[in-house]
Amino acid sequence: MGETDLIGSIDQGTSSSRVLIYEAQTGRVVAEHHIEVEQLFPHESWVEQKPLALLKSVEDCIEVVCDKLKEDGVSLDRIKGLGITNQRESTIVWDKVTGEPLNNSIVWCDARNGVQVHKLHSMFGQNYLREKCGLPIATYFSATKLVWLMDNNPQVKTAAEQDRLLFGTVDTWLIWNLTGGVKGGHHLTDVTNASRTMLMNINTLDWDNTLVEFFDLPSSILPKIQPSSSDYGSLASGSLAGKRILGVVGDQQAALLGQGCVSKGEAKNTYGTGCFMLYNTGPDIVHSTHGLLTTVAYQQEGHPATYALEGSVAVAGLALRWLRDNMGMIKDFNEAFELANQVDKTDGVYFVPAFSGLFAPHWRSDARGTLCGLTAHSTKQHISRAVLEAVCFQVCEIFEAMKADSGYEPKQFLVDGGMTRSDVLLQLQANLLGAEVAKPAMKEITALGAAVAAGVTAGVWQLGTKMDNITIFRPQIDEKERARKMKRWKMAVERSLGWDLEAMSTAD
């Protein structure tokens, strides 16, 4: 093996943590390790994770990967920096004196704050803050989760009053701990993650006092915002002690970088725990009129930010996890793909996976999961196929919104993420979109994006490298059949709406 520069990537997602070591510029994976992380569901619409468990999973992955490199005779000196990518919006609060979390992480798809959000909608309307932060008032974003914590966790409120409270999304929690924690850890975040809090002004790329005051939050708890490609400090301990974190980027923006979509007009869709479509709008801030989000795509230090339109779907791979862990219908995700492939159609079964409401383009926190069209003929094969189709239908909705907002209709649709290993899913998606779906052979696109962000800072990677070895899925149904299926899907969505959140949060 030649002495090519290497870049490390830490990818802390909702379902797993992983660390990969890439060959700079080529993107070849030299070593990797991943650990599945636990999700907790203590109450209806609550989704939590243990912050210390997330941190430990990352630290363990780092050590295993370093051991693998040593076994292969690869010197750690070749690693020129580290990138971090992470599940966005998930909200962690901790005591800066003790370093202890004051609550479990409230995960991005948690909707416990539905009542508070509904009240804000009633008072101000859903889009009251869009001009400043690019986002609707929704359960999804960190600010409304912080409001819930301040209202419902006395420890959090007391820590805030005593100036001991720190807040961060998962990237901030990892950076603070990896760079020293209570012994001088850096309290930092990047522009992509900050743009998902409802507290950053997307025009100035800094915390906005008006937004912070709107949610009645203390500004002292907020991390400093930096460009995605910049220096976040060095690891304080472990096998990579002294290695610098040179790039931080939220997971969906990282996938955009990994796919090489750095020019205006390029787009990708990631099928992970949720499903996320990003369309690069270049230096232009485009405000959606069709239920999409305006977000920061990326920023290199010393350069203007690049922006994107985003369509966010709360439940994709999470629906398969629900089939496995809650319903016991499958032993693993591959079984769901196999079951779905055993029937040609769902025979009228439609599934709306609104476990915590519906995200784009609906933004309905009063929606709940609904299974429609069951008959005595329905089997687990039909339900498995309906679950996969539900993901595809939701992508179709945000695809149509993206076309309406951007005026651009791509003929080919770039995809990545864990669910794309299912050819059944991707063929369904091509059929329902009426467009070609293109899947690169490279699997770890999100982690690759974090490596790119760090490699740019280190001077060993160029932006915009495209994936090769692409598999194409082409539509196999006509427009009439496509329209019929979308009409049925919209009927199912209507049946998922209008649940009484106030009653559900108290009586049930």
Name residues of the chain where pLDDT drops below 50.
1, 503-508
- The structure's pTM equals 0.87
Query: What is the pLDDT, as a whole number, of residue 46?
Result: 92
Query: What is the pLDDT, as a whole number, of residue 452?
Result: 95
Q: Residue for token digits 């990818």?
A: 11
Q: Is 267 helix (H, G, I), strand (E, B) or coil?
A: strand
281, two tokens: 């709008």
Q: pLDDT digit string (tens) for 7-53? A: 999 999 998 999 999 999 888 999 999 999 999 999 988 999 999 99
Q: What's the whole-number average pLDDT of the chain?
A: 91
What does the alpha-carbon distance between residue 393 and residue 320 come to, in Å, rounded to a whole number? Answer: 16
What does the alpha-carbon distance between residue 196 and residue 88 come to, in Å, rounded to a whole number? Answer: 7
Q: pLDDT digit string (tens) for 202-216? A: 999 999 999 999 999
404, two tokens: 């309406």
Query: What is the pLDDT, as a whole number, of residue 500?
Result: 63
Query: What is the pLDDT, as a whole number, of residue 505?
Result: 46
Q: pLDDT digit string (tens) for 338-360? A: 999 999 999 999 999 998 888 88
Residue 201: beta bridge partners? 206
Distances, alpha carbon 195 to alpha carbons 277, 308, 327, 372, in Å: 16, 11, 36, 36
Closest CA to 132 of 197, 188, 192: 197
* Residue 37 DSSP code: -
Q: Which helix (H) or strand (E) holds 312?
A: strand 306-313
Query: What is the pLDDT, as a whole number, of residue 444?
Result: 82
